[in-house]
Structure 1
Amino acid sequence: MKLLFSAINCTLDTSNGAAISIRTFLNFLSRYGVECRSLSANVYDRPGQGSTLQNLMSTGALPVQEPGLPQTLWLGIDGEVQHYIEYTQHMTQRDFTVEEEQTLYNRALRMLDTYQPDILLLYGSRRYERSLLRKARERGIATVFYLVHPGYRKLEAFTHVDHIFTDTEATRQLFADRFGFNCEVIGKFIDKPVAPANARPPEYVTFINPSSEKGVTLFLRIVELAAATLPEAKFLVVESRSKLSDAEQRTGIDLSRYPNLTRVGLQKDMGAVFAATKVLLALSLWHDSGPRVSVEALSMGIPAVVTNRGGLPELVGNAGIVIDPPAPLVKDHWLVPPRTDAIPWVEVLRSLLTDNEVYQQYRQASFERWREHDPALRLPRIVAGLEELVRDVKARATVKA
């Protein structure tokens, strides 16, 4: 069975959580005997400072020369999965042109004909994805949509979709209510981060991606309050898609004067970050379907303190401490809450950081919860379901013929 995943955003983009999730999922499928490849463009959530070519080279991909065609295709190998990237000059979705979209689309049609996948997997609702789904359907290819973003509000994105995957029950319920969908929950596919040999011991309360929807304004208040009342708390911010300085500038809160805060940039390998993490803070204010970091933390025995939003509560289970976010922040993510709103969070951190018995209870629960996320428990069912879908689609095509 052969599967092709396609999207505009580069599948080898380390700043894009959805791309990382898909890449990991394809790796697990390939280990289970499904032949997988992907096709995407040279588009990133957060491009590096270098040129277009330098960004493409940073993925590890190499140019592919096709006889009689311009050299615009690159190939990166990740495990047994081939990731093809169409070279495009513009590196963000905002700047991606109609001409570049057409070039990628033409490439995708050629790949449908030459690779002849049994399954097309994708996400997105642009003309590219809708048109590619239709063409796949015309070729008798089973179409599967990976639905984890809560922003889809038009049914037209799913017109030519045979089956829908999602990662959490929370998102399945969201789209059951919105569209009447019955999505298949496949869970999260996570490779456990590997701590480097020279990793520092766990000491930080870590907050990843300081964006408004991830609760950065609440985080600012937590750091302020902890600086005054909880000297045991040392905070680490990982600036992946967003930078903390953007939030400081917008809110007028300058955290540089607090010695309890350390910042690091985008990480291609999170092993060192998680090795240095004692507690994970996940403060999402939007419907965050299935934040990878919450499951990665479980794999390292790291207790998580999370908001009661999206898929966070079900992912961490009893290994996490779940707190309702301030209601005004859910409506306006950039609202700066009063410092008193940080009290519940700081008090929970106090318990974890100063009471070793409490900490060890949550640490053990994290390891146990991680075992429940084992992909081996889910892969046989998922692959069997895909094989059945392919058979059904081929039967449908035979009847039409």
Structure 2
Amino acid sequence: MRKPRLLWANCYCLLDTSSGASISVREMLRQLARMGFEVAIIGATIFDSETGMSVLPANWKKRLETVDILVLSDPPLVHKLLMTNSHIRDRMMVFEEAKWYELYLHTLDSFSPDIVWFYGGRPFDYLIADEAKHRGIPVAAYLANGNYTKTRWCRDVDLIVCDSQATAGYYRARNGISPLPVGKFIDPDAVVAQEHVRRNTLFVNPSLEKGAALVVQIAMRLEKQRPDIRFEVVSSRGNWSELVRSISALMGTPRDALENVLLTRHATDMRPVYARARIVLAPSLWWESGSRVLAEAMLNAVPAIVTDRGGNVEMIGGGGVTIALPERFYQKPYMQLLDQALLDHVVGSIIELYDSESTYNGYIERAGAAGKSLHDMASSSQKLLHVMRRLLPSDAIPSGFDVPTASPSDRS
């Protein structure tokens, strides 16, 4: 009997190192392949940011003159990517979408998948599920954000997979749909540092949505009050320098840069960054389903400070400090200024994690425990395997196929 076949199909590139969703899905597919699925991937050269495009060969654009499809080996996976003139999804041309859709139809015919899996809520994405449904192929969708307000995107979807209990509950209450949470998918060998100097306050992906306005205010206060506390900002997507200028001007004290902030460029290997981190700041102001950075921090036993919105509290378990903010902070454009009491509270929490070794060591212990219990790859993989099995007909499951028994958390 052949292996069960799964086709991942959407216009984004899963090799995008600037996209948490792409990184997560790629690892999920790697695990499914190792557990017995035959996996095919079709995408396009669409990336969240130019910083995530380093995986592409240097001369890939020249191939546009002779071929449409770029094939990249990523053992045990192979990515077939339609080459597009722009890496930005909004600039993908209609004729490029038509070419991608032809690739999709061809792959359905040639690969004959048992499951089609995708993410996306644009009208073009509806065609992915619609065509599979028309052919009688079960459809799964991956959901890891809070952006969907309607349900048309999942009309033809049989199974919705998400990463956190928080997001599953959010959509049950908001839209009456029931995503199944399977956790984060992180290879610890790729993110866990061998040694930790625990020096910097780390902030990754500076953007207003992720709380950059708050971090600027906190760093400006600590620059005066505790210049020995150093920040490291990893600029995967946002522009930290522009944010410093705009937020400091809003505060009435214009600055071009902060002396206590080390700016690090996007890194495909985050282990040296986590090795330097004493704490991680993740004051997200939009609905973040579950920050990958926080899961990686817990695997490194690095405590975090998070806001009480979305799945980030769930990501850290007891391995950090949760900050409650008034509702106005969670409204666009996410540029509210902290009042004195709130700023004192957050700054005080950071200072305590530097000055009190007993307090800090307790958080290290709890962070490490959260990493082992909440972000174990084997456990998450078994949950994913269980939910995907629901879409397979019995005659598509080979004897000996490793399917776990459902736990109560799998059914929630």
Confirm or deny a common fold (TM above 0.5). Answer: yes
Corresponding residue of 1:240: 236
Corresponding residue of 2:15: 12
What CA deviation, in whole Å up to 9, does each residue of 1:138-186 have, x standing for no partner?
A: 2222100101121112221111101111111111111111221111111
The alpha carbon displacement at 1:223 in A equals 0.2
Unaligned runs of 5+ in 1: 395-401
CA distance in 1, matches of 2:245, 2:257: 14
- Compared with structure 1, are the counterparts of its residues 275 and 62 closer, same or farther at alpha carbon in structure 2 (3 Å cutoff)? farther
What CA deviation, in whole Å up to 9, does each residue of 1:70-100 have, x standing for no partner?
A: 6221122223111211111121012111111
Unaligned runs of 5+ in 2: 397-412
Corresponding residue of 1:379: 381
Aligned partner of 1:44 among 29, 43, 47: 47
What CA deviation, in whole Å up to 9, does each residue of 1:87-115 have, x standing for no partner?
A: 11121012111111111111111111111
- Compared with structure 1, are the counterparts of its residues 155 and 195 closer, same or farther at alpha carbon in structure 2 (3 Å cutoff)? closer
Spell out the pairing of 1:1-400 with structure 2 (5 A cutoff): 1-48=4-51, 56-57=56-57, 71-192=67-188, 193-194=190-191, 201-253=197-249, 256-338=256-338, 340=340, 341-372=342-373, 373-391=375-393
Corresponding residue of 1:397: none
Asked whether the equivalents of residues 16 and 241 of structure 1 are also in contact (C-alpha less than 8 Å), the reply is no
| Partner secondary structure for residue 390 of structure 2 | helix
- Compared with structure 1, are the counterparts of its residues 45 and 279 closer, same or farther at alpha carbon in structure 2 (3 Å cutoff)? same
Aligned residues: 386
The alpha carbon displacement at 1:292 in A equals 0.2
The alpha carbon displacement at 1:378 in A equals 3.5
* Structure 1 stretches of at least 4 aligned residues deviating more than 6 Å after TM superposition: 60-65
The alpha carbon displacement at 1:260 in A equals 1.2
CA distance in 1, matches of 2:35, 2:55: 31
CA distance in 1, matches of 2:358, 2:379: 31
The alpha carbon displacement at 1:236 in A equals 0.4
| Partner secondary structure for residue 389 of structure 1 | coil
CA distance in 2, matches of 1:57, 1:374: 33
Query: Which amino acid is the alignment partner of residue 234 of structure 2?
Result: V
CA RMSD after TM alignment: 2.7
Asked whether the equivalents of residues 244 and 257 of structure 2 are also in contact (C-alpha less than 8 Å), the reply is no
Asked whether the equivalents of residues 255 and 261 of structure 1 are also in contact (C-alpha less than 8 Å), the reply is no
What CA deviation, in whole Å up to 9, does each residue of 1:246-270 have, x standing for no partner?
A: 3124334455553211001111221
Asked whether the equivalents of residues 63 and 73 of structure 1 are also in contact (C-alpha less than 8 Å), the reply is no
Query: Which amino acid is the alignment partner of residue 16 of structure 1?
Result: S
Query: Which amino acid is the alignment partner of residue 139 of structure 2?
Result: T
The alpha carbon displacement at 1:28 in A equals 1.7
Asked whether the equivalents of residues 282 and 306 of structure 1 are also in contact (C-alpha less than 8 Å), the reply is yes
Corresponding residue of 1:398: none
Query: Which amino acid is the alignment partner of residue 307 of structure 1?
Result: T
What CA deviation, in whole Å up to 9, does each residue of 1:354-387 have, x standing for no partner?
A: 1111111111111111111213223334313322
CA distance in 2, matches of 1:147, 1:195: 26
Seq. identity, %: 29
- Compared with structure 1, are the counterparts of its residues 55 and 169 closer, same or farther at alpha carbon in structure 2 (3 Å cutoff)? closer
TM-score by length of 2: 0.87
| Partner secondary structure for residue 309 of structure 1 | coil
